[in-house]
């Protein structure tokens, strides 16, 4: 890992000192773990009753209630949440888009999340999605100690995520930092990400150049991942179409995140690295100061 990335980690680590990871809402502290989730789960804390539905665990049937009311009901318990953050960093080449602060912001944000998790009493582990999702060396330690970071994957990180699903800690929090710029239905990725997770945070990190397309004129666009080229003429109409496409793409992800129970936050790299003011994440109740 080059020194530049190391400096980004240190920079993010320094920025993350001000933040702590926000706990998932409505989570009780009296659980086997330190935090409880909002969903019904397998913790010992009773939450509610509901009618039995085929497929429910027979062990959860409240036989006393059946005796009293001759009606099958099951007891619901609060879900137990593990105080752990699995941090997934998109390792595709687009995350280090040239002439942008994307790599700096991505590495820095990952460091921020790691430090914020520590500040909240969470353990953490960092993963890097390249051709396969693999843990970052020393990813459980302080970010400045992480090893082998790199953005050189030329493929779709969603496929890697599906092909080699990472072994995230069950009931832990999961955060993914990516530009989400790939083809495919986002819900599939999110369902994999949310499976067994207490909460999921998706941070879409875009460069300023991704938000604001190139200036008008004839431009030969080069895909930073595939090196595919496309020569187009950019005018006001093309810019409008691009922004519309970006908005639709983000709406799809937002919709999928809502369906998967994930929180999605959009940030712009250049704005992040300008002052490391992570107001957007604070507003989304992902981080707290």
Partner 1 sequence: MPVFTFPLAFIALLAVPALVAIYWLRTRARERHVSSLLLWLDEKQMWEGGRRIHRLQTPLLFFLELLTILLLVMAAAGPMMRAGEGGRPLVVVLDDSFSMLAGNEDSAKNRAMRAIENELRGNRYDPVRFVLAGESPQLLGETTNNTGQAIRLLQNWRCGATRAWLEEAVAFAFELGGSRARVLAVTDHAPVEESNDSRLQWWAFGSSQQNFAFVNAARTQRDDEDRVLLEIANLSSSSGATTLTIESDDPNNPRSAIRDPQSIPLGAGKAKRIALTLKSGAPALRARLGDDALGVDNSVVLLPEANRSVRIDLRVRDAPLRALVEKTAQSSQNASLTADDPELVITDESESNVENAEAWTLRIIAEKDAASFLGPFVVDRAHPMTEGLSLGGVVWGSGKSQQLAGAPVITAGNIPLLADVDRAGRHELRLRLRPDLSTLQESPNWPILIWNLINWRARAMPGLRQANVRLGGDATLTVEPGVEEVRVVDPQRNARQLPVRDKAVMIKADSVGVYEIGANQSKYAFAANALQREESDLAQATSGRWGNWANAAALQWEYRSVAWVLLLLAMIVLAVHAWLVWRRGVK
List 118's β-bridge partners, or say none.
Answer: none
Residue 193 CB, shortest distance to partner 1, in Å, is 20
| Residue 90 CB, nearest approach to partner 1 (Å) | 10
* Nearer residue to partner 1 within complex by CB, 102 or 174: 102
17 binds partner 1 (CB under 8 A): no
Looking at residues 20 to 39 of the shown chain, list those that interact with partner 1 (rule: CB under 8 A).
none
The pair phi, psi for residue 110, each rounded to 5°, is -60, -40
| In the complex, minimum distance from the CB of residue 228 to partner 1, in angstroms, rounded to a whole number | 6
- Distance, in Å, from the CA atom of 104 to the CA atom of 168, rounded to the nearest integer, reads 25
- CB-based contact 173:86 (threshold 8 Å): yes
Q: Show contacts with partner 1 in window 77-96 (CB under 8 A).
A: 94
**Closer of 6 and 249 to partner 1 (Cβ):** 249
Nearer to partner 1 by Cβ, of 48 and 223: the residue is 223
Count of other CB atoms within 10 angstroms of residue 138? 14
Tell me which residues in 177-206 interact with partner 1 (CB under 8 A).
Answer: 179, 181-183, 206
Q: Which residues contact 275 (CB under 8 A, 6 or more apart)?
A: none
Q: Cβ 154 to partner 1, closest distance in Å?
A: 12
Q: How crowded is residue 257: how many other Cβ atoms within 10 Å of its Cβ? A: 22
Instruction: Kindly state whether residue 169 participates in binding partner 1, applying the rule CB under 8 A.
Output: no
Spatial distance between the Cα atoms of 237 and 227, rounded to a whole number of angstroms: 25
Site mask for partner 1 (CB under 8 A), range 206-245, x = bound? xx-xx---x--xxxxxxxxxx-xxxxxxxxxxx--xx--x
β-strand partners of 268 = 206
H/E stretch holding 46? strand 35-51
Nearby residues of 247 by Cβ (< 8 Å), 6 or more positions away = none
Residue 43 CB: number of other CB atoms within 10 A? 21
Burial zone of 227 (CB within 10 Å; 0-12 exposed, 13-18 middle, 19+ buried) = exposed
Strand pairing report for 123-129 and 84-90:
parallel
Question: By CB under 8 A, is residue 48 in contact with partner 1?
Answer: no
Q: In the bound complex, what is the minimum distance in angstroms from residue 284's beta carbon to partner 1? A: 22
Q: Is the CB of residue 273 less than 8 Å from the CB of residue 101?
A: yes
Q: Among residue numbers 238 through 277, which ones bind partner 1 (CB under 8 A)? A: 238, 241-242, 245-246, 249
Cβ closer to partner 1: 96 or 199? 96
Chain positions 99 to 128 lying near partner 1, rule: CB under 8 A, are 99, 102
Cβ closer to partner 1: 8 or 168?
Answer: 8
Token code pair at residue 233: 């003429």
Residue 279 makes contact with partner 1 by CB under 8 A: no
Rounded-to-integer distance, Cα 117 and Cα 184, Å: 30
73 vs 100 by CB, closer to partner 1: 100
- Closer by beta carbon to partner 1, 62 or else 179: 179
CB of 201 to partner 1, least distance (A): 21
Q: Which residues bind partner 1 (CB under 8 A)?
A: 94, 97-99, 102, 179, 181-183, 206-207, 209-210, 214, 217-226, 228-238, 241-242, 245-246, 249
């Amino acid at each position: 890992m080059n020194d530049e990335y190391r400096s980004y980690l240190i920079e993010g680590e320094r920025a993350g000192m001000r933040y702590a990871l926000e706990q998932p809402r409505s989570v009780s502290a009296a659980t086997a773990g330190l935090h409880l989730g909002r969903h019904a789960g397998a913790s010992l804390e009773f939450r509610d009753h509901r009618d039995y539905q085929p497929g429910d665990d027979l062990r959860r049937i409240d036989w006393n209630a059946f005796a009293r009311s001759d009606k099958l009901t099951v007891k619901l318990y609060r879900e137990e949440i593990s105080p752990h953050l699995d941090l997934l960093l998109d390792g595709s080449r687009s995350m280090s888009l040239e002439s942008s602060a994307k790599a700096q912001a991505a590495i820095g944000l990952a460091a921020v999340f790691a430090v914020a998790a520590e500040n909240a009493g969470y353990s953490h582990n960092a993963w890097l999605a390249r051709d396969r999702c693999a843990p970052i060396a020393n990813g459980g330690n302080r970010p400045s100690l992480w090893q082998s970071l790199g953005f050189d994957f030329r493929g779709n990180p969603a496929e890697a995520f599906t092909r080699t699903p990472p072994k995230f800690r069950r009931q832990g929090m999961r955060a993914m930092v990516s530009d989400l710029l790939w083809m495919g239905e986002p819900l599939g990725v999110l369902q994999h990400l949310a499976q067994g997770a207490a909460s999921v945070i998706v941070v879409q990190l875009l460069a300023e150049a991704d938000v604001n397309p190139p200036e008008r004129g004839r431009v030969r666009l080069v895909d930073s991942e595939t090196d595919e080229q496309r020569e187009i003429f950019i005018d006001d109409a093309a810019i409008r179409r691009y922004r519309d496409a970006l908005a639709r793409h983000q709406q799809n992800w937002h919709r999928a995140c809502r369906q998967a129970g994930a929180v999605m936050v959009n940030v712009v790299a250049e704005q992040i690295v300008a002052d490391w003011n992570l107001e957007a994440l604070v507003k989304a109740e992902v981080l707290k100061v």
